[in-house]
Structure 1
Amino acid sequence: MTKTVLITGCSSGFGKTATGYFVRQGWNVIATMRNISDGKELAELDNVLVTRLDVEDPASIASAIEAGIERFGRIDALVNNAGYGLFGIFEATSPEKIKEQFDVNVFGVMSVTRAILPHFRTNKAGVIINVSSGAGVFTLPMISLYCASKFALEGFSEALSYELSGLGITVKVVEPGGVISTKFGQRSGAEAGQAQSIPDYEPFVTSSLAIFETMRGQRLATEEDVAKVIHDAVTDGTDQLRYVATDDIKPLVRARRETSEAEYIQFMRSKFGASAAS
């Protein structure tokens, strides 16, 4: 029987690319997005259902899952991909934007996951992939709120994996970073443009932006690389929890996970701390 995956956030980026990748591997795909007019290209693919799902709208989540089951009979995997990143100094970010960051990146994932769990429990099977980020492993300045949301997602995913392991349901985390072809940076930049300016931070912001620009020029990973890792995580039949999806972030991941706390903090402060900005 052909298997079916539901993917959130398919209008662009990893979600759109993963849809095409799964189709090429012979899967049915429920490609969901807030505005289905953005899914015209995907709707032309065989075995793809484009339907509306806004992670902040519980009714749309339930409707998308119901539509997918009606079309394909069952759902075998969920890829929680929808998300975005706030960019800018924490103090300059409004409480409303902070709430929205968590509503999408954390509570939205929880809402979609909660809605599909009864179906997975009935089937006694299911794979949940939560798309995190390198920013869920290590932190960077100017994206403190995005980091906070992804750290929360990592903790939720790990704990949830224990709760569901006895029910035949596997939870996994995919950690991409450094992908140059997505529109993520454009969206983050637009969000930053709406934040207030605080002069005291300007030297640090200028220094940090220069570092980010250097990092951006070194990025080589593509959306296709991440889509492959997502597919591999769904299909490899293991209970592996975390997958680092791009080589670009591996040095920072190793610094976080394979060195002492003191070594890691010293390494990061040398790059992004006050001394680096002076």
Structure 2
Amino acid sequence: MTTPSRSGPVVLITGCSTGFGRELSLVALERGFRVISTARRVETLADLKEKGAETLKLDVTSPPQELADFAKAAWAIYGQIDYLVNNAGYLLGGAMEECTPEETMAQFNTNVFGLINTTNAFLPYFRTRRAGMVVNISSQGGSLNMVGAGIYCATKAAVDSLSDTWARELAEFNVKCISIQPGMFRTAVSAGNLRRGTHRIAEYTAADKVITEYNAATGTEKGDPTKAAVRILDFVTAEGRELPLRLALGDDAFESVKAFHVQRLADMEKFRSWSVGTNFD
């Protein structure tokens, strides 16, 4: 198949075999963007390649030097990358005590350390060019800290925190960063990317109930991933757009994350007298 001629912004997306990564790739290609789609198994990207994407093998948990080599090769394809979309990740379910140390470390290696190392591999190029944007796909769970997904939510809270700091640190280089916090969308996360902690403890009925209900709802989520991909790309690529540090994405995420912050503010005021008054006399 002949690759369509493209001259739009260059977008590199991680974790494109399923879910948001695939949807973002398809929407970006439709918009005429130059797309670099990546996955651990590059053969899963064959249809994206046929549609015009450059496809590369990438495991975000690779050693930093391998990621640096990858960044050099990826940058050389078009001589620039305008948007780095850190989407690769998976969901580890179960009460936190049910997740073994190895499972917990693997979750952080992919969702947090892999994201840090991949981003750091590209930042020298962004800084030198004095342009670019890092778009981190987080989750409403980074704020909500849900029962039955505590380890996963902790990784997404880390992603939110890292994104906030990057946005401030990189501002002097004209490089932007934003964290996207999706709610429930009809993707393959629960069907294919949910991994259950193997150390099952029967007493954790609340966590087990949440996971059972989550799995049962797979395929019925109200969120449309194609609409989400369109919204993300429209938002981050708009000329002159003022970016917040975080963007809750989805009707459910907006209401849930808003309620979280309202409750946090109420708690701070309620216990204000215990917080203040600790300065030297």
TM-score between both structures, scaled by the size of structure 2? 0.85
The correspondence for 1:6, drawn from 5, 12, 17, is 12
Residues 96-141 of structure 1: CA deviation (Å, up to 9, x unaligned): 0100111111111101110001111111100110000000121210
The correspondence for 2:137, drawn from 108, 123, 131, is 131
Whether 1:20 aligns to 2:13 is: no
Q: What secondary structure sits across from 1:82 in the alignment?
A: coil
Maintained 8 Å contact 2:138/2:179: yes
Identity across aligned pairs (percent)?
32
For 1:11 and 1:63, the matched residues in 2 are separated by: 22
More deviation, 35-44/61-70: 61-70
The amino acid that maps onto 1:54 is D
Maintained 8 Å contact 1:229/1:243: no
- Seen in structure 2, the aligned counterparts of structure 1 residues 213 and 29 have a Cα distance that, compared at 3 Å, is closer
Counterpart mapping for 1:31-50 below 5 A = 31-46=37-52, 48-50=53-55
Whether 1:75 aligns to 2:81 is: yes
Maintained 8 Å contact 1:54/1:60: no
Residue 232 of structure 1 and its aligned partner are, at CA, apart by: 2.3
Residues 50-92 of structure 1: CA deviation (Å, up to 9, x unaligned): 0011101135433432333222121111000001110011111
For 1:254 and 1:226, the matched residues in 2 are separated by: 19
For 1:205 and 1:44, the matched residues in 2 are separated by: 42
Counterpart mapping for 1:155-166 below 5 A = 155-166=161-172
Residues 199-257 of structure 1: CA deviation (Å, up to 9, x unaligned): 222x3245434654687687311211221232123212323222121112222112112
Which residue of the partner structure matches residue 250 of structure 1? 254
- Seen in structure 2, the aligned counterparts of structure 1 residues 51 and 260 have a Cα distance that, compared at 3 Å, is closer
Residue 261 of structure 1 and its aligned partner are, at CA, apart by: 5.0
Which residue of the partner structure matches residue 273 of structure 2? none
Residue 93 of structure 1 and its aligned partner are, at CA, apart by: 1.0
- Seen in structure 2, the aligned counterparts of structure 1 residues 228 and 69 have a Cα distance that, compared at 3 Å, is same
- Seen in structure 2, the aligned counterparts of structure 1 residues 205 and 138 have a Cα distance that, compared at 3 Å, is closer
For 1:131 and 1:223, the matched residues in 2 are separated by: 13
Which residue of the partner structure matches residue 183 of structure 2? 177
Which residue of the partner structure matches residue 71 of structure 2? 65
- Seen in structure 2, the aligned counterparts of structure 1 residues 262 and 115 have a Cα distance that, compared at 3 Å, is same
More deviation, 209-218/28-37: 209-218
Counterpart mapping for 1:43-122 below 5 A = 43-46=49-52, 48-57=53-62, 58-122=64-128
RMSD over aligned CA atoms reads: 2.2
Where does the alignment leave 5 or more consecutive residues of structure 1 unmatched? 265-278
TM-score between both structures, scaled by the size of structure 1? 0.86
Which residue of the partner structure matches residue 200 of structure 1? 203
- Seen in structure 2, the aligned counterparts of structure 1 residues 44 and 144 have a Cα distance that, compared at 3 Å, is same
The amino acid that maps onto 2:206 is F
Q: What secondary structure sits across from 1:125 in the alignment?
A: coil
Residue 28 of structure 1 and its aligned partner are, at CA, apart by: 0.3
For 1:121 and 1:260, the matched residues in 2 are separated by: 36
Residues 141-193 of structure 1: CA deviation (Å, up to 9, x unaligned): 0000001000111111101111101111000111112112x11102354x21x
What is the number of residues matched between the two proteins?
259
Which residue of the partner structure matches residue 275 of structure 2? none
Q: What secondary structure sits across from 1:259 in the alignment?
A: helix
For 1:8 and 1:104, the matched residues in 2 are separated by: 11
Where does the alignment leave 5 or more consecutive residues of structure 2 unmatched? 1-6, 269-281
The amino acid that maps onto 1:170 is K
Maintained 8 Å contact 1:52/1:60: no
